A and B are shown apart, each in its own frame.
Chain A
């Protein structure tokens, strides 16, 4: 509901206009208003217990490996922030080392081999095959 309110305020700031001459904020305001009303309806139905699914009966946040999940998301963001600087090769090999290790504990030699082979195959597929512009970074290709 907070998000919906912010969108409505953003819409008003952009200018709602009139129904005869709708301005840029017209659609964002109406969409935000709709979202807010629906969120309120969902909250009420949740509190009054009108809508229940099997999923609501159990704790959906239980048995989650937060460390693994959080670390994976964090590493993906770090890769996004730096792979244009460090380049496709180094950045991707480092990312894959982490991902392969995080998915299932394997011997390091296997992880290294899989990471390098995957990176080279992606380079060949995207750079050579599809002519995509992959960041060169420190090693220059």
Chain B
């Protein structure tokens, strides 16, 4: 009963005209950045973060969340029509979506992608609503050792799943931890690695780092790659999938939803991993695995459903534990802190209107997205025809002005450019940016938790293994580190599978 009352309160917040407007703006921008290659949800959120300073925390989070799950919807359009994923979580959709388009079935591919996303998104919100409140009671038992171990586990899961080379992913995590130490030490107040630059006393900003690694580096790569811009020219028609399409897709959608949701909750998980794993599962359980990669509708339905439910699931660790499970959630963490809201177990009791308002806005946002993505598909296709020679300078300018406008500081712009070059080199040398950013965000929290735990235990590391929650997290983390060393596991590791799929 309480749940329904809270949800009603959430809808009363989300349906306020201003919040409704920000929800619409968020999903619209999300779809836009999902459609346009080169500008993902992370860069868009970092760009618009300063614009939310003037609004209420609820409106700000509603809009930023809308960008995230909106991008999951929009990303499929470019995958299906152009064979270029609008954002990373739509990579798998290219494999069968583009083949369907080539066979004259672009409409059903886009249709099942939108319906699958809607179903998964709605189920994901239901899961968020049901799981988050009980998890808060559990989270109240967390002390510094538990927080430290959980963050270590999150980093290990991310490095385990996302890269073909775990050593390189861990190197990036270590680099992120180092960058996270720049600025004043939280405990002693001593300046670290600031090189007498006053702007660095507050540390390196998340927005310049993210914009550089994900925005500028992408444009630099595209400058050298000379991507051939090709838009599917046949008119998109018949968006509604047939009964046969539904029969083939419904279980894929449901499986994708469940897999995506739980991978979204997992620290270090997220929409990208969810889409890869659900595609692999679907291919494995299918009676016709040979159809995958040749235009199987299940190959579109499963990853698109998974990335949407993962987007909802990822809110759980942030809103209950205060720990971002991926880079997008790290951006939301930054937004909450800027607005004076501390995410964590007390958020639900101290700011119920924020939690339930955001949850309710997701239902509304999902309905808006269905309307935006099906009847207006023609408009998004037109947008794909914007030449890259216009698009890329505009993206660069967005990043430059966006990073400057946060603190009116040219230093932030320079930091962004430095990370743009670092990001470019990382991509060229097969180093993943995601572990670096997550470690950079978690670094200060992880350091504080580690030092507090050691002070509490008088220097004994046994504190991490004598407390059950901490011990379980660390044992899993250690197992994830050791297992890849076993020769038989090397070929089976999910990261290796992802690498193989990406080369297809």
Contact = CB atoms under 8 A, between A and B. Distances in A.
Given A24-B190, A76-B417, A118-B393, A132 B220 contact: no
B178 A28 contact: yes
Contact of B188 (A24, A73, A114, A132): A24
Contacts of B223: 65, 68-69, 72, 102-103
Interface in A79-97: 79-81, 83-84, 92, 95-96
Nearest to A73: B421
A38 B172 CA distance: 10
B455 A38 contact: no
Contact of A122 (B175, B387, B401, B458): B401
A32 to B, nearest CB: 6
Interface string A14-28: 110011111111111
Given A24-B192, A77-B417, A114-B390, A42 B167 contact: yes
Task: Determine which residue in A7, A18, A24 has the highest number of CB atoms from chain B within 10 A of its CB, and name it.
Answer: A24
A6 to B, nearest CB: 10
Interface stretch (B136-144, B241-249, B265-273, B446-454): B446-454
Contacts of B428: 60-61
Contacts of B458: 20
Given A38-B167, A64-B224, A72-B223, A103 B499 contact: no
Given A7-B178, A28-B178, A28-B192, A103 B455 contact: no
Most interface-central of B50, B165, B421, B460 (chain A CB within 10 A): B165
Contacts of A104: 387-389
Nearest to B181: A28
Contacts of A53: 164-165, 430, 499
A132 B408 CA distance: 8
Nearest to B219: A72
5 contacts: A4-B174, A60-B428, A92-B397, A100-B393, A102-B223
A47 interface: no
Contacts, number: 154
A124 interface: no
Contacts of B167: 38, 41-42, 45, 51
Contacts of A42: 165, 167-168, 171
Contacts of B185: 14, 24
Given A23-B188, A42-B167, A53-B499, A72 B181 contact: no
Given A21-B455, A73-B220, A80-B413, A32 B165 contact: no
A34 interface: yes
Given A24-B185, A96-B393, A100-B389, A65 B224 contact: yes
Interface of A: 4, 7, 10, 14-15, 18-28, 31-32, 34-35, 38-39, 41-42, 45, 51, 53-56, 60-61, 63-65, 68-69, 72-73, 76-77, 79-81, 83-84, 92, 95-96, 99-100, 102-104, 106, 114, 118, 122, 126, 130-134
Instruction: Tell me whether chain B's interface is mostly helix, strand or loop, or mixed.
Output: helix
Interface in B446-486: 447, 450-451, 454-455, 458-461
Query: What's the interface size class on B, roughly?
Result: 35 or more
- In order of increasing CB-CB distance, the 9 nearest A-B pairs are A19-B459, A104-B389, A99-B393, A20-B459, A35-B174, A103-B389, A132-B405, A24-B185, A31-B177
Interface in B356-414: 387-390, 392-394, 396-397, 400-401, 404-405, 408, 410, 413-414
- With most chain A CB atoms within 10 A of its CB, the pick from B54, B164, B224, B408 is B224
Interface in B143-179: 164-165, 167-168, 170-171, 174-175, 177-178
Contact of B224 (A15, A19, A69, A84): A69
Contacts of B51: 130
B170 A38 contact: yes
A26 B175 CA distance: 15
A133 B389 contact: no
A26 B165 CA distance: 27
A26 B405 contact: no
B232 interface: no
Given A69-B224, A77-B414, A20 B455 contact: yes
A80 to B, nearest CB: 5
B74 to A, nearest CB: 20
